[in-house]
Structure formats: C-alpha cells, structure tokens
Amino acid sequence: MVQSGRLCLPAPGLHGNLGRNIAFGPCYYEIDTALQKEFGVTERLRLRFRVEAFNLFNHPAYDVPANVWTETGNFGQITGIHNGGAVGTGTPRRIQFVLRIVY
C-alpha cells in the first residue's frame, strides 16, 4: 500500500490490497542417479556392484523468502535452507556403494 509516496503497513486486521501468490520462492531440483555392473563369478554366483548418487551436482535448495511485513529488515530475504536434516530434498550430495552377491 502506498500513501503519499511512501510505503506503509496495512491497518491491523487487514491484509492490504495485493493479490494472492504475488511472490514466489526459488525453485529447487535434485538430480539422483545410479550405475550398476554385474560380474559373473561362477555359473551360479554373480556379484552386483552399484553406485547411487543423490543430489549429484550438490545444488542448494534455499528456503522461501521471509513474508512477515512487521520484520522490516527481513522481508523478502532468504535466510535459510529448505532442509537441514539427514534425508529428503535439499540435503547435501550423498554417494553410496552397494555390493550384492546373487546366487
């Protein structure tokens, strides 16, 4: 809301006159891949080796921008990451190796 050339906050209990979904956060993506090779040890015994990579290019997943008008210094700024946990979207690159005996 603009009043006499300056930005002002809406009255308490009101949301202003902006439309819905006018601000978007950054998009995020991850590329997961796997490679597998199978070796024949004997006629009945095979060895399977597999490499799996999650978030292969280590692309960061930033959180949505701050959307609280009362925090004048933080509005619209990204101050965190999407996921700081051990699994899920937004985690750092992970590579795992699997060795399996098939008989």
Per-residue pLDDT tens, the chain, 103 aa: give them.
Answer: 445 556 666 777 776 777 777 767 777 788 899 999 999 999 999 999 999 999 899 888 888 887 776 666 777 788 887 776 667 777 888 999 999 999 9
At 33 the three-state DSSP class reads strand
Distance CA 15, CA 70 (A): 12
Q: What is the pLDDT of residue 2?
A: 46
∠ CA 16-75-83 to the nearest 5 degrees?
Answer: 120
pTM value is: 0.62
Q: What is the pLDDT of residue 96?
A: 95
